[in-house]
């Protein structure tokens, strides 16, 4: 990450508004939030936004199944999503929606501008049409027998049995998963974004260290096989924005979904009296960073920068890509109770347990991350409870009981403190590179040293000897200062624990004040900062996940 004075504009991918947030989704939001909180600690000007992605056929169809209007359904889902993210301490400056006036205004501006420049082509295509529902069918709403391995009930775009990809027209015995009717081929006029015209620009854009190096090869494959024009229109009935100047054509959800980033920024900047254009034009002194999963790299590394470049808006400076979450070494499973909703987790555990565990496995790369539930319990207890919080609990009580809450006016131990402060630069570098596992390794190694120091000094023994009072006060003050340094290093990962710690130490934790010792001042009485967790709670959470599954209404597919 650059140490520039540029304003940082940071987004996470927009959750789709037809379902709940689960622990796979939450990984990205935790990753981005830790990064954002650290940048704020450094004093950088950061605007962190997200939004619900609310358009498309799946939302229209699901709302019909639930007997609701799409607007009713997306409003309920948006509230649920916002509640879940707040529950995990995700510190968005703005959480918005794609079904908004700002999004329509910017989508129309982008479309009209691209059209005026000759980047929109119109031609007829043939698609499968549901004669009963009178609608063109998205690939995922056509099912049939796989043309390759003959497995039945496969989706229109790929087979989950043999992994083959194909066109829905190649399916054997296709049927509409909405009505069951046999689809027919029908022609329709569609609007295309001329992506091939941006091939040279994209090749240069990729060279600027914008996307992870391990994904550059994938892009080279796409360039070599030739970029295709991108269909940005869908026929009515469709839940979305009508394309300007048409009667029954709508923007495909993937056109206005990433525009939702800009709409969320605009909504926020307008409220703050900040000029949106000055933040988003191609020469803006801003740094735009997207956190996304590897499954949507195609859209974010090809269509999105090309569209922005085509209308002279700022293209992304960084795209940070992460892998998937597995649970106990396997894909999340509804039947095993490992497909866990964010809200179900929050009923059972402190959100910071998961923030910590995910961070301990984040190395800034695109590897998948495994949530091993036994390891999760062991790591939270051994690291946060036994090493970190224990350091404060072992010595704070003596300060309260024997010294009226007052810390010593000097502590010595210069070498020990130097060791702790010498790690500051490498911890900063690890945060900037999103290598949060490295931050945790360094902090826990220091926590071990701090606990060894307390073991050697044995304040519980010193407390029995009146003549060692002054020395005891110094040892406890030193221990609490070591804790203050460690919890400052951990603030982006464990913001609530840091807040409680700052409250009991009677200070504000900042990056700049880490070197400044806390001396000759009063602290508040120590209260338990973090509770141990156990496997019984994990089992209860898994049981609840199975109940969530049973309570879901069966789909009409």
| pLDDT tens-digit readout, 386-418 | 999 999 999 999 999 999 999 999 998 899 999
Distance CA 423, CA 413 (A): 17
What are 454-482's pLDDT values in tens digits? 999 999 999 999 999 999 999 999 999 99
What is residue 133's three-state secondary structure?
A: coil
H/E stretch holding 218 reads helix 213-225
What is 239-300 written as a DSSP string? SSPBPTT-SSEEE-HHHHHHHHHHHHHHHHHHHHT--HHHHHBTT-SEEEEEEEEGGGHHII
What is residue 477's three-state secondary structure?
A: helix
Distance CA 218, CA 61 (A): 34
Distance CA 531, CA 258 (A): 40
| pLDDT (0 to 100) of residue 462 | 97
Distance CA 382, CA 544 (A): 26
Question: Quick one: which of 118, 117, 101, 71 has its CA closest to 262?
Answer: 101
Share of the chain above pLDDT 70, in %: 98
What are 152-182's pLDDT values in tens digits? 999 988 888 988 888 899 999 999 999 999 9
* The two three-digit tokens of residue 378, written as one number: 């062991």
**Cα-to-chain-centroid distance, residue 510:** 24
| pLDDT (0 to 100) of residue 209 | 87
33-53 as b/e: b if 16+ CB within 10 A: bbbbbbbbbeebebbbbbbbb
Question: Quick one: which of 30, 17, 39 has its CA closest to 358?
Answer: 30
Question: Quick one: which of 322, 359, 491, 377 has its CA closest to 438?
Answer: 359
Can you give the pTM of this predicted structure?
0.94
Distance CA 42, CA 436 (A): 16
Give the chain's end-to-end CA distance (angstroms, integer). Answer: 46
Mean pLDDT (the chain) is 95
Angle (deg, nearest 10), helices 351-360 and 495-505: 110
The yes-or-no verdict on residue 548 having pLDDT over 90 is no
What are 272-316's pLDDT values in tens digits? 999 999 999 999 999 999 999 999 998 999 999 999 999 999 999
The yes-or-no verdict on residue 557 having pLDDT over 70 is no
Domains and CATH numbers, the chain: 7-118+251-322 (3.40.50.620), 120-192 (2.170.220.10), 387-505 (1.10.730.10)
């Amino acid at each position: 990450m650059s140490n520039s004075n540029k304003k940082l504009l940071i987004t996470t991918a927009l959750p789709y508004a037809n379902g709940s947030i689960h622990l796979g989704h939450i990984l990205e939001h935790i990753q981005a939030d830790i990064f954002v909180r650290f940048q704020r600690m450094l004093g950088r000007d950061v605007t962190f936004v997200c939004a619900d992605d609310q358009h498309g056929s799946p939302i229209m169809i699901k709302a019909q199944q639930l007997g609701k209007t799409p607007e009713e359904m997306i409003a309920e889902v948006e509230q649920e999503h916002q509640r879940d993210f707040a529950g995990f301490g995700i510190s968005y400056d703005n959480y918005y929606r794609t079904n908004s006036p700002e999004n329509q205004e910017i989508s129309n501006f982008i479309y009209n501008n691209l059209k005026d420049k000759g980047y929109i082509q119109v031609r007829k295509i043939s698609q499968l049409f549901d004669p009963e529902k009178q609608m063109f069918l998205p690939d995922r709403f056509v099912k049939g027998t796989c043309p390759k391995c003959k497995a039945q009930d496969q989706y229109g775009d790929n087979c989950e049995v043999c992994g083959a990809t194909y066109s829905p027209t190649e399916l054997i015995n296709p049927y509409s998963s909405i009505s069951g009717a046999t689809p027919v081929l029908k022609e329709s006029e569609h609007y295309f974004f001329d992506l091939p015209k941006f091939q040279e620009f994209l090749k240069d854009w990729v060279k600027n260290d914008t996307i992870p190096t391990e994904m550059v090869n994938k892009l080279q494959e796409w360039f070599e096989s030739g970029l295709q024009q991108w269909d940005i229109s869908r026929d009515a009935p469709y839940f979305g924005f009508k394309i300007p100047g048409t009667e029954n054509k709508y923007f495909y959800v993937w056109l206005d979904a990433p525009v939702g980033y800009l709409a969320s920024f605009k909504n926020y900047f307008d409220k703050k009296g900040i000029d949106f254009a000055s933040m988003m034009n191609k020469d803006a002194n801003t740094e735009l960073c997207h956190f996304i999963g590897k499954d949507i790299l195609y859209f974010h590394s090809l269509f999105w920068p090309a569209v922005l470049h085509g209308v002279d808006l700022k293209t992304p400076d960084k795209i940070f890509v992460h892998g998937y979450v597995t649970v106990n070494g396997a894909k999340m499973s509804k039947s095993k109770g490992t497909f866990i909703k964010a809200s179900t987790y929050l009923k059972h555990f402190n959100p910071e347990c998961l923030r910590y565990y995910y961070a301990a496995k984040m190395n800034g790369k695109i590897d998948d991350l495994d949530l091993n539930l036994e390891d999760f319990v062991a790591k939270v207890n051994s690291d946060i409870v036994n090493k970190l919080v224990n350091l404060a609990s072992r010595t704070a009580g003596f300060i309260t009981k024997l010294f009226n809450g007052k810390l010593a006016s000097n502590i010595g131990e210069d070498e020990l403190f130097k060791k702790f402060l010498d790690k500051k630069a490498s911890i900063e570098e690890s945060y900037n590179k999103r290598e949060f596992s490295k931050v945790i390794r360094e902090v826990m190694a220091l926590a071990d040293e701090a606990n060894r120091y307390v073991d050697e000094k044995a304040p519980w023994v010193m407390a029995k000897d009146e003549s060692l009072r002054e020395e005891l006060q110094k040892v406890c003050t030193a221990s609490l200062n070591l804790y203050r340094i460690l919890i400052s290093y951990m603030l982006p990962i464990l913001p609530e624990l840091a807040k409680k710690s700052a409250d009991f130490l009677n200070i504000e934790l900042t990056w700049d004040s880490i070197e400044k010792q806390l001396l000759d001042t009063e602290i508040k009485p120590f209260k338990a900062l973090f509770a141990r967790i156990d496997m019984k709670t994990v089992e209860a959470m898994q049981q609840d996940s199975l109940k969530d599954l049973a309570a879901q209404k069966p789909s009409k597919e």
